[in-house]
């Protein structure tokens, strides 16, 4: 945006100087010249604002067809998108730096690329501020040949507050603006794993779901508010994860508005002590009213987890209650860590229930964190993670 504006101005400056100097020649020539120059500047401006970076200009067209099953990928930057399984990807939410090559590639595969949308809610309670924010996002999406926006507002909101209503209005007005200005575009909204005021996100989920194309349900970070013992647990235990979808559906939210988000990362918890039964007690780190939380651990990508597991003391273990894998390792200081994560075995039953519950599709946070190296073991591992998204 600012880049385009600056370049247009730069073209204006030298031209006006030239016109000034030429005016000492005959008036007719300089008038003709002036019009020619004005035309040139206009042409440059038009070409610059619409220049398609793709090999074929039609790849800059927004994606229109709706596919019945969504595979929604968050991309956080870099070039590992080249290794995605593009036969299944339908939407890429570009959370990294804008990458025109990614946009062209996604479009060549019929996949949408959408912006990230985040704004402090206190700013958009004001209607004209809200309208300005939406206008800016639509213009940005258009200038980058993108196909919508993923609204990622993870802020605490009190039910009935001005922010509560402003958020619903923001989603509705954003959807209207995108659908009007970019035909076929998609507006999605990220929600917590449960609609029950998780992390104090007391949003009007029903209105928000009705007002946009889909909700991306972040079925992870489910230990962000630990009520009982402060112990390490699975990022997304199976039964708790699935029960929360029933909670969304009980609100009469259309299942076709829900995309299940699974984690491609896990948590590495240093254990302050380890019980004989293998329970890892963790530091007390409060979060939004709860005495402890997963913030006592560190998020780790699947790629790191697989390497660490290989050199762990325990090897891969399976918790049959939470239906999730975990392992132990000792760090250089001799401190024991417990690592909880998701792998194809824990993702498969979740993905199966996407079909069983008739949801819109599946997705992950995030697409970049597998090992996309050339070694056969890495390739196999990445393929299994992608394929697990479709169930088993
Ligand atoms: C409007 O948004 C700006 C940031 O873009 C913010 O600084 C300002 O406080 C907002 N105004 C109102 C009235 O909320
Ligand atoms: C481990 O720590 C927890 C919490 O600090 C404490 O309640 C528990 O008794 C400790 N267990 C052992 C085996 O030391
Ligand atoms: C784990 O270790 C084995 C043998 O040491 C090796 O063949 C395999 O590639 C390793 N896997 C990963 C993910 O590092
Ligand atoms: C990509 O996904 C498709 C299913 O859409 C599957 O048939 C194919 O084997 C996958 N490709 C790889 C390399 O795993």
Model pLDDT, residue 44? 56
Of the listed ligands, the closest to the CA of 276 is 2
- Regions in the chain scoring below 50 on pLDDT: 1-26
Q: What is the dihedral of CA 250, 260, 356, 111, to 10 degrees?
A: 130
Model pLDDT, residue 28? 54
Model pLDDT, residue 1? 26
Model pLDDT, residue 286? 86
pTM greater than the 0.75 cutoff: yes
Model pLDDT, residue 9? 31
Identify the burial level of 254 via C-beta atoms within 10 angstroms of its C-beta, where 0-12 means exposed, 13-18 middle and 19 or more buried: middle
Model pLDDT, residue 20? 34
DSSP state of 159: T
Evaluate: CB of 108 within 6 angstroms of ligand 4.
no
Q: Which residues belong to the active site?
A: 154
Model pLDDT, residue 45? 55
CA 275 to ligand 2 center in whole angstroms: 8
Lining residues, ligand 2, CB within 6 Å: 272-273, 275, 281
pLDDT tens for each residue of 116-132: 999 999 999 999 999 99
Evaluate: CB of 42 within 6 angstroms of ligand 1.
no
CA 267 to ligand 2 center in whole angstroms: 20
Evaluate: CB of 87 within 6 angstroms of ligand 4.
yes
Place of tokens 């597991």: 309
Cα Rg, the chain, nearest whole Å: 25
pLDDT tens for each residue of 87-103: 999 999 999 999 999 99
**Domain 57-267+345-388, CATH 3.20.20.80 — does that match?**
yes
DSSP state of 226: B
The dihedral sign for the CA sequence 171, 175, 181, 184: positive
Distance (Å, whole) CA 66 – CA 88:
13
Of the listed ligands, the closest to the CA of 371 is 3
Model pLDDT, residue 85? 98
């Amino acid at each position: 945006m600012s880049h385009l504006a600056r370049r247009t101005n730069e073209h204006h400056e030298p031209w006006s100087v030239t016109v000034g100097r030429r005016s000492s020649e005959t008036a007719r020539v300089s008038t003709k010249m002036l019009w020619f120059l004005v035309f040139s500047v206009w042409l440059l401006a038009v070409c610059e604002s619409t220049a398609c970076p793709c090999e074929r200009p039609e790849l800059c067209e927004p994606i229109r067809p709706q596919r019945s099953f969504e595979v929604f990928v968050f991309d956080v930057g870099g070039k590992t998108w080249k290794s995605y399984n593009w036969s299944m990807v339908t939407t890429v939410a570009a959370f990294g730096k804008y990458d025109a090559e990614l946009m062209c590639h996604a479009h060549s595969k019929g996949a949408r690329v959408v912006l990230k949308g985040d704004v402090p809610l206190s700013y958009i309670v004001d209607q004209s501020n809200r309208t300005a924010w939406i206008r800016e996002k639509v213009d940005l999406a258009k200038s980058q040949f993108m196909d919508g926006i993923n609204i990622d507002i993870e802020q605490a909101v009190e039910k009935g507050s001005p922010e509560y209503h402003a958020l619903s209005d923001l989603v509705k007005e954003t959807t209207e603006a995108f659908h009007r200005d970019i035909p076929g575009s998609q507006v999605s909204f990220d929600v917590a794993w449960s609609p029950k005021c998780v992390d104090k996100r007391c949003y009007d989920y029903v209105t928000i779901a009705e007002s946009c194309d889909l909700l991306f349900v972040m079925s992870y970070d489910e230990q962000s508010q630990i009520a009982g013992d402060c112990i390490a647990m699975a990022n997304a235990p199976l039964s708790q994860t699935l029960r929360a979808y029933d909670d969304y559906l009980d609100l009469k939210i259309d299942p076709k508005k829900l995309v299940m988000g699974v984690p491609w990362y896990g948590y590495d918890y240093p254990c302050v002590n380890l019980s004989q039964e293998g329970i890892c007690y963790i530091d007390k780190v409060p979060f939004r009213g709860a005495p402890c939380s997963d913030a006592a651990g560190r998020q780790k990508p699947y790629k790191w987890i697989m390497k660490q597991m290989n050199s762990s003391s325990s090897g891969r273990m399976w918790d049959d209650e939470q239906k999730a894998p975990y392992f132990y390792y000792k760090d250089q200081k001799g401190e024991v860590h417990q690592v909880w994560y998701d792998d194809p075995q824990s993702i498969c039953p979740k993905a199966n229930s996407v079909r069983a519950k008739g949801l819109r599709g599946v997705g992950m946070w995030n697409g970049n964190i597998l090992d996309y190296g050339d070694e056969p073991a890495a390739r196999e591992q990445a393929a299994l993670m992608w394929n697990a998204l479709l169930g088993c």
